[in-house]
Structure 1
Amino acid sequence: MLKTHRSMAVAFVLTLTANTAQATDAAAWDKSLTPLGAEKAGNAAGTIPAWSGGLTQAPAGYKGPGKPHVDPFGTDTPLFTITKANLDQYKVSLTPGQIAMFETYPNSYQMPVYTTRRTGAAPQWVYDNTRKNAGSAKLIGGGNGFVDAYGGIPFPMPQSGVEALWNHIARYRGTYVVRRASEVAVQRNGSFSPITSQQEAKFKFYEPDGSYAGLGNVMFYYLSFTKSPARLAGSAVLVHETLDQVKEPRQAWAYNAGQRRVRRAPNLAYDTPIPAADGLRTADDTDMFNGSPDRYDWKLVGKKEIYIPYNNYKVSSPEVSYKQLLQAGHLNPAYTRHELHRVWVVEGTLKPNARHIYSRRTLYLDEDSWQAAVVDQYDSRGELWRVSMAYLKNYYELPTTWSALDVFHDLQARRYHVQNLDNEEPNTIDFSQISPDESEFKPAALRRRGTR
């Protein structure tokens, strides 16, 4: 059984004192928890420090929104490196999927481990909303949605696995995001061919002047236009992500540039394979997990200290080419950074009458941000099959913690897929542009925008 920390137990006591409120004692919150519900205190060994506000200021040399991020910790050197040879010393702080990576690639896979820096942070208004949500948010539909929460983490003191999962799904990532990036499927021999797209996301759940009542069951809008290669250029996908997907399933449309037609894409959910990922990523693998939780029974296992990708600025540096970064089997370890952090462990088991290619999936959620850092996925036989890793970093211009790259490993095929590569693009993700009207995310606008 995973060790549950003392302050986590305090949080559970608070949650159990009321049916409709997660917490009623503000003094207890202030004493032991961060504004997003993590433990402020460090660990007993001193290898995880206390949270002291996170990273909220850009380092010197940062040129502003849309420009590459300067590494605030560029002078850090690894404390040690985990390899196949010394793996047994560190297994207690690794996930089964991470251990399997060493077994699958014993001669090349490594994890450089650095000093833990708890850089997780968010704007004050997100903190304020999170505190409000703690006293109002409630699950509905057996956990397939929630009500009475807005603009912050819905369940900062989770009582169940599905509440913790919703914290990941509904975490803060800005209000409007624009990004041009590539994704690649890296073959066993290391070869790859990038597919580049222009992506936009409007997070309706995080509009500062909005409210839960005004959501209309829409959490966010997502739009992606393929830019290259030429054979795919012009095609587009539009998604309206709903809050309760059992009541109202995700709405999706696809634009085919060759046919110049917009069509509904009702199957863009659950285990539908994503074509650009060459069969290595399902629709609900994206963002480590997205969409409706209704096909799984979710268990909150507890907390554990795990070495997870954190403060990864080198993997997205313009000084590192795709060829340098993308090796056969996995990313080049020289550009990765791992730190010891506390994570919430959430396990999803496929319901008896549900269908999905994964019989079980275990998510490891960073306690300071609720972002899933590692996900282990099991096949129909119960064998470990795929391992997803989010290489987290702090986007200090907001601030928020989000992934620099998402990497999806197929241990059986020995291939992997990478999303959000922008090292070789002139600009990176931009949170500063004015959020467009919702009409720009309607099916009627898809064809018009696809022909620009």
Structure 2
Amino acid sequence: MITTALAYIAATAVYASPNSADIAKLGSELTPIGAEVAGSSSGGVPAFGGAVMHAPTGWSAGAKPVDPYSREKPLYIIDAGSADQYKDRLSPGQYALVKSLPGYSMAVFESHRSCGIPTVVAEQTKKNASLASLDGEDRLTAAVGGGYPFPLPKSGAEIIWNHKLRYNGPSVETYVVNVIPPKGSKGTDFGEVQLYLDQLYFPMASTSVTSPTEVGNVESALREQTLAPPSVAGDGVASISYIDKPTEANLYFSAQRRMRRAPNYQYDAPILNTDNLITADVAWMFNGAMDRYDFKLIGKRELLIPYNTFSLYDHTLKATDVFQGEFIKRSMVRYELHRVWEVEATVKAGKRHSMPKRVFYVDEDTWTISVQDLYDSSGKTWRTMEGYLVPEYSLGTCFLAGSTIYDVQAGRYAGQSIVAASGKPARFSNDLKASDFSADAFRRWIGR
């Protein structure tokens, strides 16, 4: 059931900065980045265990993940027959999926608030609490790097900015898998595996940044090369997402040895080779410009979301261990009860988007969108997404290890940017810089 928002949430369109009493709660009643420290009254959500993450015995950076909760058994399993009993812990999209997709279920485990907060992130976030601001178009105008901009959010847009600037370190390289099973796929038939090399750059992760203008108002940058299947191997995309203007993108087609600018490769433009199941701005649950939506903060609630999904971070697995025709194998996904912020996005007057309404459910401990429901023009549930959070001990917090989008109406799904079965682990570094994502640099990189 949706609960009342925290007392400091305002209900007006213009928001004052948090006062000193609110800011003093960070690190006491609230975690250093703004989550409630206390557990829930129901006992389903435990108290926050601390900002420092402790790697389990046997863990080594880059090796097969060690799951400290692997011996736990599900508390209960939700399927079509029991969904009504747990409806208040499901989003409308989750509920529709469980009820409509034969064989789909959700195994629910004990909750663990396992995502840490690096000390420097806590320090920078506290600075932002009294500093960060948005303009009237929901563009970030002030913030220091290395922290979350809005630990005490007063609007839906502020929460989405926390997701967009969630801490991943300055740069990350991942080998990731997409799977787009053909319509009607069942069992072991899930189509061909798409393998990608992604390199991402996050200039606002640097603690030396005192204003977004210092990094050219760049929010993030991506360069990606397709490694499989052979028919499109060598193709790629480079994009730069800006704080104050639309995304810039370039596409490279290896068969033609040709690169072209793609100014429309954003918002609801379909991602190449995804059969229209994945659009540009659902990558990483949400990315890119926010100017087509109004974002309304609904409040907080408890929700069953994927959490501690070590299996989907295991690069050593095979695709047949992870995927099947109808959905991600149910044994791969662990669900836990956590508190989330609920934000409703509706298309602005005079704007257009193929998804006129979206509802985001944002994990309070990481500011990561963990579940998203997408609605069609008639207001019916169209699609639902889930993102896979996993502790990354070398980073000191949790990382989004991929996502899945389920088309409830069509009975199809697409797995996107999933680390499992990719063959190589994620690598976090400080290797990349803005100039690596220019058109010329991208051409040299992908043609090497």
TM bucket, shorter chain: over 0.9
RMSD over equivalenced CA pairs, Å? 2.0
Structure 1 residues 405, 30: CA separation in 2 closer, same or farther (over 3 Å shift)? Answer: closer
Partner of 1:3: 3
* Cα distance per residue 1:133-168 (max 9 Å; x no partner): 010111114213332342211111111111111111
Partner of 1:214: 214
2:316–2:422 CA contact under 8 A, matched in 1: no
2:271–2:279 CA contact under 8 A, matched in 1: yes
Stretches of structure 1 lacking an aligned partner (at least 5 in a row): none
CA drift of 1:55 comes to 5.9
Are 2:448 and 1:441 equivalent residues in the alignment? no
Partner of 1:63: 60
* Cα distance per residue 1:268-315 (max 9 Å; x no partner): 111001122221011111111111111111110000001111101123
Partner of 2:159: 164
2:298–2:343 CA contact under 8 A, matched in 1: yes
Structure 1 residues 60, 30: CA separation in 2 closer, same or farther (over 3 Å shift)? Answer: closer
CA drift of 1:254 comes to 1.4
CA drift of 1:20 comes to 5.2
Structure 1 residues 109, 157: CA separation in 2 closer, same or farther (over 3 Å shift)? Answer: same
2:316–2:424 CA contact under 8 A, matched in 1: no
Secondary structure of 2:220 counterpart: strand
Q: Which amino acid aligns with 1:115?
A: E
2:177–2:196 CA contact under 8 A, matched in 1: yes
Distance in 2, matches of 1:411 and 1:236, equals 30
User: Aligned pair count?
Assistant: 441
Partner of 2:199: 200
* Cα distance per residue 1:87-127 (max 9 Å; x no partner): 1211011100000111211x411111111100122211111
Partner of 1:94: 90
Q: Which amino acid aligns with 2:153?
A: P
Structural mapping, 1:279-290, within 5 Å: 279-290=276-287
Structure 1 residues 89, 318: CA separation in 2 closer, same or farther (over 3 Å shift)? Answer: same
Q: Which amino acid aligns with 1:275?
A: L
Structure 2 length-normalised TM: 0.93
Distance in 2, matches of 1:202 and 1:60, equals 31
Distance in 1, matches of 2:41 and 2:161, equals 29
Q: Which amino acid aligns with 1:256?
A: F
Distance in 1, matches of 2:2 and 2:176, equals 38
CA drift of 1:353 comes to 1.3
Distance in 2, matches of 1:23 and 1:199, equals 41
Partner of 2:30: 33
Partner of 1:140: 135
Partner of 1:359: 356
* Cα distance per residue 1:213-243 (max 9 Å; x no partner): 4211112221101112222122221111111
Secondary structure of 1:189 counterpart: coil
Are 2:411 and 1:414 equivalent residues in the alignment? yes
Distance in 2, matches of 1:118 and 1:358, equals 32
2:144–2:209 CA contact under 8 A, matched in 1: no
Partner of 2:227: 227
Are 2:109 and 1:114 equivalent residues in the alignment? yes
Structure 1 residues 346, 209: CA separation in 2 closer, same or farther (over 3 Å shift)? Answer: same
1:54–1:118 CA contact under 8 A, matched in 2: no
Secondary structure of 2:93 counterpart: helix
Are 2:75 and 1:79 equivalent residues in the alignment? yes
Distance in 2, matches of 1:31 and 1:123, equals 16
Partner of 1:239: 239
1:133–1:155 CA contact under 8 A, matched in 2: yes
Q: Which amino acid aligns with 2:117?
A: A
CA drift of 1:328 comes to 2.7
Distance in 2, matches of 1:437 and 1:349, equals 35
Q: Which amino acid aligns with 1:393?
A: V
Partner of 1:395: 392
Q: Which amino acid aligns with 1:234?
A: G
Secondary structure of 2:9 counterpart: helix
CA drift of 1:244 comes to 1.6
Q: Which amino acid aligns with 2:219?
A: M
CA drift of 1:71 comes to 0.9
Secondary structure of 2:327 counterpart: coil
1:20–1:136 CA contact under 8 A, matched in 2: no
Structure 1 residues 333, 23: CA separation in 2 closer, same or farther (over 3 Å shift)? Answer: farther
2:340–2:361 CA contact under 8 A, matched in 1: yes
Q: Which amino acid aligns with 1:220?
A: S
Structure 1 residues 29, 436: CA separation in 2 closer, same or farther (over 3 Å shift)? Answer: closer
Distance in 2, matches of 1:70 and 1:335, equals 14
Secondary structure of 1:211 counterpart: coil
Structure 1 residues 202, 346: CA separation in 2 closer, same or farther (over 3 Å shift)? Answer: same
Secondary structure of 1:404 counterpart: strand
2:322–2:420 CA contact under 8 A, matched in 1: no
Stretches of structure 2 lacking an aligned partner (at least 5 in a row): none
Structure 1 residues 209, 117: CA separation in 2 closer, same or farther (over 3 Å shift)? Answer: same
Distance in 2, matches of 1:423 and 1:342, equals 26
